[in-house]
Amino acid sequence: MHDTCPNCEALLATPYCPGCGQKAIPPDDLTLRRGWSHLTHELWHLDGRLPTTLKGIFLHPGEASLDFLEGRRARHMHPVQVFILFSGLHFLTLQKGFLPGIFTGMADSNDEHGSKQATTVQQRLPQLESAIKTLDYAALFLMPLLATALMRKHWPHYGQRLVFFAHRACWLFGIETLWFPLNAVLSPRLHFAPNSTLQTLVSLTPYLVFPLYTYAALRRAFALPRSEAAGGALLLATLGAVLTFVTYSLAFWWGMR
């Protein structure tokens, strides 16, 4: 440990610098062991914030958003932190198998031109992945604007609505991260016929459940009556479907240029 603070050069007599407040840096700060300790501490031991946040997102829809916006923040991870965590896991899952399947399917391989296009998809997958990330983030920031009429009287500020949509996106990212690999493993064992109606329904399960999650989140976060929450969930599901179609179509065009 340094005798003086590396940041402001004040003398260190406590674990935190009396001059700037920076935590004292131990000699093994950059070792793998210390790095793992930092990671586990950030994720699990900050007053149990990650488990509490996950519970508020996955088990009690809308609770994490409501707590954060009403000032009960010490018990939760910041929405930006949890969104970065889940979006990273989500895009890792897409990269490992789901994303190639989407774009290869968009290229009709029944003719020679389609076969060449499918091959090009595989070659340009990094560009397609980059396009999807960019457009998905753009869609996330656009959704609160599109939903202004639904949420303005409850949360008038854009940032307030963005918190709700960040937590809502984390739920979908988390479910997709678990569901895509599970579906890939189970479908062959359950002997689903390729491209059958049953296989399609199983693959789309997260998206079929998502409006129900949104309904429950709107009920808790906004204290909406059932009819208004149902209408809001239907509106957001429609907006989400349109944005998803536009996102993947633009990504396909962008990546295949």
End-to-end CA distance of the chain: 54
Annotate 22-58 with b (16+ C-beta within 10 A) or e (fewer): eebeeeeeeeeeeeeeeeeeeeeeeeebbebbbebbb
User: Residue 194: in which H helix or E strand, if any?
Assistant: none
* 165, burial (CB in 10 Å: exposed 0-12, middle 13-18, buried 19+): buried
171: nearest Cα among 140, 134, 203, 201: 140
Tokens 């998206």 correspond to what residue?
Answer: 207
Tokens 């399609």 correspond to what residue?
Answer: 200
Looking at residue 114, its pLDDT comes to 47
List CB contacts of 47: < 8 A, sequence separation 6 or more. 74, 75
Give the least confident one: 40-49, 179-188, 208-217: 40-49
pLDDT digits (tens, 9 = 90+) for 106-149: 444 444 544 555 555 555 656 666 666 676 677 777 777 777 77
What pTM, to 2 d.p., does this model score?
0.70
- The conformation of residue 192, written as its DSSP 8-state character, comes to P
- The conformation of residue 22, written as its DSSP 8-state character, comes to P
Question: Between 125-146 and 79-93, two packed helices, what is the crossing angle to 10 degrees?
Answer: 140
- Say if residue 213's pLDDT is above 90: yes
Tokens (6 digits) for 43: 């994720």
| Cα–Cα distance for residue pair 27/205, rounded to 1 Å | 50
Looking at residue 115, its pLDDT comes to 53
- Say if residue 34's pLDDT is above 80: no
Looking at residue 216, its pLDDT comes to 96
